[in-house]
Amino acid sequence: MSSASGKAPQQRLRGLDVLRGVAALAVCLFHYTDSFPRETGIALPIAFHLGDAIHGVDMFLVISGFVIYMSIEKTRDAYDFLTARISRLYPAFIACLLLTTVVVCFIGGVPILKPSLGKFLANVSMVPYVFGQDVVDGVYWTLAYEAFFYIFAATVIRRVGLDRVEWVCIPWFAAALMMRLEPIFIWHSPYLLLMARLVTSGAYAGLFILGIMLYRICAGQAKPLTYVMLVVCLLNTLVGPPINVKPLNSEIYCAVMCGAAFLVWLGGTNRIPVKPFWALVFLGDISYSFYLLHDDIGFVMMKWLLQWGVNAYVTLVLTFAVAVAISYAMNRLVEKPGQRALRAMFKRWRERFAAHTWRPAQPKPLAGD
């Protein structure tokens, strides 16, 4: 396997934490101001409903492409990469899944949020769609796409070679675009179509690839084909948003994503000032736990506050504050300790397997010894 050349960015890019914070805030505002009244049927008397803020998810996926490529470049092999991702995601995910399920089942009072036992068990895998089940919390859908992206990165991209990643992305992008625009041969089966879109990343492949190309540029590894793929991914946004809960002009979406790509480039080259945006850095640091916890639990809290007669704007502020507090506790008490514990466990397993596999054979005694 060829290794990528050039100097990679430093491991922790705080500018990307600022952007994670922006994306997390946007997704939260979308869920609280737009999804909540639309999905629950409970009126939220405020002057704004931010349906377009859903595109904070697109920013998350571009950052994911950037960071995952950086991560796979810094790990020894597929085992190290995949176990690092499992360690990073699973402790907080399982804890948040349990907490969300308890809240919506025993406290909630919002019937549409209550999961069945089968749905809950399928969600433990992080890819419930494979088992014909939907997600417990609406935000979990992205994790299935992320999981397949990780497997693809650990196998195909690493196998072909990191310095030839552009040549991997060309057929990947083409297959994903076909699954989005013209899913021939399998359009008669919704399940097979969904599986094909998960495996190819579907409408989101262009966002992952955009992040990879931005990393290559920031790390000084860019080739002419890198810039070609970057432009192709940006032009692909003219097809329209992957998710669009309210009409958004394709040209406007393209302009938004060009701006997002520019911001990720700024973050990847440490050109975003961090100190003025300390609050966004904080939110970006806990963004994974916040992303997992804010939605359904927030809906439950908003439902009760509004029923108690609390002002709608106060309800939004209180719900956001509680979501941040719970997410901070989850990040400190479960996410980070769990990550360290799982990484240590996987490291011990690897060492034991290596010791067992490569244990030198004992020399046979000579005749007469």
pLDDT in tens, 8-29: 445 578 899 999 999 999 999 9
Residue 342 forms part of a structural domain: no
Angle at 180 between CA 159 and CA 161, to 5 degrees: 10
Q: Could you tell me the pLDDT band of residue 363, with boundaries at 50, 70 and 90? A: low
| pLDDT reported for residue 279 | 96
| pLDDT reported for residue 1 | 38
- pLDDT beyond 90 at 318: yes
Residue 245 per-residue DSSP state: S
Give Cβ neighbours of residue 57 (< 8 Å, ≥ 6 apart).
Answer: 23, 27, 142, 243
- pLDDT beyond 60 at 58: yes
**Count: domains in the chain:** 1
Residue 115 forms part of a structural domain: yes
Q: Could you tell me the pLDDT band of residue 183, with boundaries at 50, 70 and 90? A: low
Residue 351 forms part of a structural domain: no
- pLDDT beyond 50 at 215: yes
Q: Sign of the CA dihedral 41, 42, 47, 50?
A: negative
For the chain, the farthest-separated pair of C-alpha atoms sits apart, in whole angstroms, at 96
Q: What percentage of the chain has pLDDT greater than the value 90?
A: 69
- Report DSSP letters for 91-136, one per residue: HHHHHHHHHHHHHIIIII--GGGPPPHHHHHHHHTS-GGGGT---S
Identity (one letter) of the amino acid at 328? Answer: Y
pLDDT digits (tens, 9 = 90+) for 115-127: 889 999 999 999 9
pLDDT digits (tens, 9 = 90+) for 250-295: 899 999 999 999 999 999 999 999 899 999 999 999 999 999 999 9
Stretch 42-56: mean pLDDT:
91
| pLDDT reported for residue 360 | 53
- Give the dihedral of Cα atoms 318, 93, 200, 165; nearest 10 deg: 100
- pLDDT beyond 50 at 6: no
| pLDDT reported for residue 8 | 45
Residue 28 forms part of a structural domain: yes
Residue 361 forms part of a structural domain: no
CA distance 2 to 136: 41
| pLDDT reported for residue 162 | 86
Residue 27 forms part of a structural domain: yes
Stretch 231-238: mean pLDDT:
94
**Average pLDDT in the chain:** 89
| pLDDT reported for residue 180 | 77
Residue 140 per-residue DSSP state: G
Residue 314 forms part of a structural domain: yes
| pLDDT reported for residue 76 | 84
User: Which residues form the domain of 240?
Assistant: 14-335
pTM for the whole structure:
0.90
What's the gap between Cα 62 and its chain centre?
A: 9
CA distance 172 to 166: 10
In angstroms, the Cα distances linking 192 to 87, 136, 145 are: 30, 21, 15
Q: What is the Cβ-side half-sphere exposure of residue 367, based on CA atoms within 13 angstroms? A: 0
Residue 349 forms part of a structural domain: no
| pLDDT reported for residue 330 | 97
pLDDT digits (tens, 9 = 90+) for 138-147: 999 999 999 9
